[in-house]
Structure 1
């Protein structure tokens, strides 16, 4: 209840809980987070309103997108920044397009229409492979009665080519190869296209067949192929950086979603299990790119797919990742809350994950200013879990990377939060000098050490270490590392006129 005793409600009418200090219920919060990543589901009548029909009559995609953003169905206007993210362009470019800049590139127009789920009969250009009427939709089914899988876009209509005689309006093989939304080119031009750099010819052929006819071809082999791709993405991440790894991973997740639609139940569960691990990893990559909204989106998808596959450990593991995301946002309450939920829930977590969760609890306690004795107890508990991991069987595949080095690095962060930065700097140095970290992680923890040195009143050493971190951040496109270096520069402000701090500031702002 509000301070005056009145009942507080969300705009949707849901009564807000007493401990909810915001203005939205949990369902509306989730809807708002999802909106950042993908367009909302809209009913068929959405497209038949006067404002949408008038926009389509102009044959101007800018006018259509503007009418879509400002449609009353959404409850409020969707910003250009959010819509531009869906379409894969900048807000500035979308502003120019809505202002009258013409778009004549047919593949781009088709892709945007597909993303927003625009009905084919309202478009002024041809959308191949998309039946217009229910009768055409039935005729477009394969002899086995399986619809061509689409990518799950709201408002989209599934359909595919018919074997045998070429139907009216169908495309030749050469035409299909150039059309992004045709069935034949789905693997090469659709969401799954980004997976191709990580697969060999046999795997690409198998995935292509699975996308064309998921019920017939989605088998254990395709599950194994996706598992190998995920392992390759994780191996590439530390060297190539998140911005180069994420497109390949998202392509793989799109392919998994398509294959799971018509797979047999046991294969579907196996696909969702791989997808859950991939979605969790996508959340991590988005964290590294400092895209917290998308990180939250993929963590939520990881939880949902883990539930669909019956993977309890993964559900608990995602809670740990949410605690780490909360740490990025300096949200101490959620750091501790998510970690405690991971530790106490029915997840059956392996010892290494429990070790990482206990460390995260220690960090949350330190952030909240609790006594150092409580923090040390949690850290000791983490070491006990890690010690027992060597004697325990673990088939989960979770936190296999977690080691004494990992614990040492995270313990250092606890000391920073507890106001002991010099001790933290020493712990960071112990691991950084071993050479066990990937290029990206070496850069990030160098930045963390620079922050600790700056907090310890060592400006020249902090700036020198920070310059090393900046070089690796540029090589791996790590926004997370650059953000940490930004904190270092802010801490070094009292010494801003000294040569080394000035050089670090110029590198970051240049």
Structure 2
């Protein structure tokens, strides 16, 4: 084999993937992608068309990328790779190297900050954060420290403007001295941006940003002043909960639980009991994905009985969750109707506005969850009526709309409408592909199980082909 395939790694990054998220999309082990880029192995023939599609190149273009290599990790031109724009630039802050995602040309105006020669900033045998991202499993929970070895990773934050560059660079170099409220606010804005973008971009593009951000929080929480540490861990708990959700969307339940547990730990240390209760609700939702109704029930009840004050919208969702668990354990739709009514009354009650937990939860989402409850209770026709009433595209993000389409498809199949179910499933699959939602794809597998009596119908055949692609 030749040297490292810089073309393949470059195309992967340009498409917005880490090695891990590309592996998710291809349904292979991340180590396999790592071996491809190191030149140790090549993609198998049947993998190449899908790989080319994900990288947005032709099959011929993929072959060219596979031939574009380096010797011993150094580009064939003999020149160091540029680190500009969204990649890393080595910056000297009080004698220490800090890697920041900035435009190199803009640094000349930053005064006390200076760009270092890229080839002279890292000790022999140590990888830059860019190399860690390209060559290792840097996006796994256990690989965060290598990603942050020389400062803030490019995946943690988008490119900085000069107004924030100096302050954030100083905080990364000396957290105890410089990590203050404005820097904390900056981290908070990046977390908010990730949450806003998730429903459109999906986990493949959002996960690297979130893991870099949460990793940066964990790395610097060890060095900041105690009052800043509590606020930083409160933000970290929020980020860890969101990272858990992203792993849930790609159906990596082990890492989902890892991040949920980390969120609870940080919330406890930050004296944020409400977040602890909120994460229990998220664990109850995960139990639904894993088809563990008893665990789902007791977790939902724990949310309501815990020693914390939660917004009424979070209480509403936990009551709904309890109702859904009960029907999965054998209750009828009529038996849980009072709980669903209670959830709607709670949702309509006025919150004090002090907490943003569950801010996304609204009447439309409760209606979708009520439809799920009816389907689980053996009343799919009632569920279809609710979907038809409230499942309107402009009310949801692209990813969530695709997910609820998959649930509507399942209800239609159970209600004996195979062609409409299959057509809805095909529409859902397109959303799942564009947002990398494995959760939606798994739901469509269940839809195909419901459609087994009609397996030879053309619409069902088309859905089966789309789900398998």
Structure 1 runs not aligned, ≥5 long = 1-80, 108-141, 151-171
- Shift of the 201–504 alpha-carbon distance from structure 1 to 2, 3 Å rule, reads farther
| 1:89-133 C-alpha deviation (Å, 9 max, x unpaired) | 6344689999x98x98569xxxxxxxxxxxxxxxxxxxxxxxxxx
2:88 paired residue number: none
Distance 1:402 1:251 in 2: 27
Deviation at 1:184, TM superposition (A): 13
With over 3 angstroms needed to count, the CA separation of the structure-2 counterparts of 1:283 and 1:104, relative to structure 1, is farther
TM-score, structure 1 normalization = 0.66
User: Paired residue for 1:335?
Assistant: 296
Partners of 2:304 and 2:459 lie apart in 1 by 43
Q: Which of the residues 458, 461, 473 maps onto 2:432?
A: 473
2:181 equivalent to 1:220: yes
Q: Does 1:422 align with 2:422?
A: no
CA separation of 1:105 and 1:380: change in aligned 2, threshold 3 A: farther
Rate the CA distance shift 1:178–1:411 in 2: closer, same or farther, 3 A.
same
Using the alignment, how far apart are the partners of 1:95 and 1:509 within structure 2? 26
Quote how far apart the aligned CAs of 1:183 are.
Answer: 10
Separation of aligned partners in 2, 1:246 and 1:105: 30
Relative to structure 1, is the Cα distance of residues 277 and 455 closer, same or farther in structure 2, using a 3 angstrom cutoff? same
C-alpha spacing 1:149/1:89, structure 2 compared with 1 (3 Å): farther
Which residue of structure 2 lines up, in the alignment, with residue 312 of structure 1? 273
Q: Shift of residue 197 of structure 1?
A: 2.3
Cα gap change, 1:148 to 1:183, in 2 (>3 Å)? farther
Match of 1:401, SS state, is coil
Which residue does the alignment assign to 1:73? none
- Residues 270, 419 of structure 1: CA spacing in aligned structure 2 closer, same or farther, 3 A cutoff? same
* Native 8 Å contact 1:323 1:336 kept in 2: yes
Q: Is the 8 A contact 1:319 1:342 kept in 2?
A: yes
Go from structure 1 to structure 2 and tell me whether the alpha carbon gap of 1:386 and 1:506 turns closer, same or farther (over 3 Å shift). same
Q: Which of 224, 229, 235 is equivalent to 2:196? A: 235
Alpha-carbon contact 1:288-1:479 (below 8 Å) kept: yes
2:175 equivalent to 1:175: no
Aligned twin of 1:398: 357
Q: Is 2:430 the counterpart of 1:486?
A: no
Tell me which of 69, 90, 94 is aligned to 2:30.
90
CA contact (8 A) 1:242 1:476 kept: yes
Matched, 1:432 2:391: yes
Matching residue of 1:297: 258
Residue 148 of structure 2 contacts residue 215 of structure 2 at CA under 8 Å; is this kept in 1? no
| Structure-2 separation of matches of 1:320 and 1:204 | 38
Partner of 1:349: 310
Deviation at 1:374, TM superposition (A): 3.7
Q: Taking structure 1 as reference, are residues 460 and 276 closer, same or farther at Cα in structure 2, changes over 3 Å only? A: same
- Superposed CA deviations along residues 242-281 of structure 1, whole A, max 9, x for unmatched, are 1101101111111111221111111111100111001101
Equivalent residue, structure 2, for 1:262? 223
**Which of the two has higher C-alpha Rg?**
1
Equivalents in 2 of 1:284, 1:450: separation in Å? Answer: 23
Deviation at 1:429, TM superposition (A): 2.1
1:209-262 per-position Cα deviation (integer Å, ceiling 9, x unaligned) = 212111011100111001100110011101111110110111111111122111
Q: CA deviation at 1:207?
A: 2.9
* Aligned residue runs from structure 1 range 3-82, under 5 A: none
Offset at residue 187 of structure 1 (A): 6.6
Gaps of 5+ in 2: 1-19, 42-69, 75-93, 100-115, 132-146
Q: Is the 8 A contact 1:148 1:183 kept in 2?
A: no
Q: 1:302 to 1:201 in 2, by over 3 A?
A: farther
How far apart are 1:499 and its partner, in Å? 0.7
Assess if the C-alpha contact under 8 Å between 1:176 and 1:184 holds in 2: no
Mapped contact 1:149–1:213 kept (Cα < 8 A): no
C-alpha spacing 1:92/1:181, structure 2 compared with 1 (3 Å): closer
Give the alignment partner of residue 503 of structure 1, picking from 452, 462, 468.
Answer: 462
Q: Is the 8 A contact 1:273 1:306 kept in 2?
A: yes
Give 3-state SS (helix, strand or coil) of 2:394's partner.
coil
User: Counterpart in 2 of 1:376?
Assistant: 337
Q: Distance between the aligned counterparts of 1:261 and 1:181, measured in 2?
A: 23
RMSD: 3.4
Q: 1:342 to 1:355 in 2, by over 3 A?
A: same
Q: 1:95 to 1:474 in 2, by over 3 A?
A: closer
Normalised by the size of structure 2, how large is the TM-score?
Answer: 0.71
1:450 corresponds to which residue? 409
Partner of 2:17: none
Provide the C-alpha distance between the structure 1 equivalents of 2:129 and 2:398, rounded to a whole number of angstroms: 40
Q: Secondary structure at the match of 1:196?
A: coil
**Count, aligned residues:** 368
Question: Which residue does the alignment assign to 2:105?
Answer: none
The 1:409–1:199 alpha-carbon spacing in structure 2 relative to 1, beyond 3 Å, is farther
Supply the distance in 2 between the matched residues of 1:105 and 1:430 (Cα, whole angstroms). Answer: 60
SS at match of 2:330: coil
The structural deviation recorded for 1:395 is 1.6
Residue 204 to residue 285, structure 1, CA distance change in 2 (3 Å): farther
Find the residue that maps to 2:224 and give its secondary structure.
Answer: coil
Matched-pair contact (CA < 8 Å) for 2:129–2:153: no
C-alpha distance in structure 2 between counterparts of 1:347 and 1:424, whole Å: 33
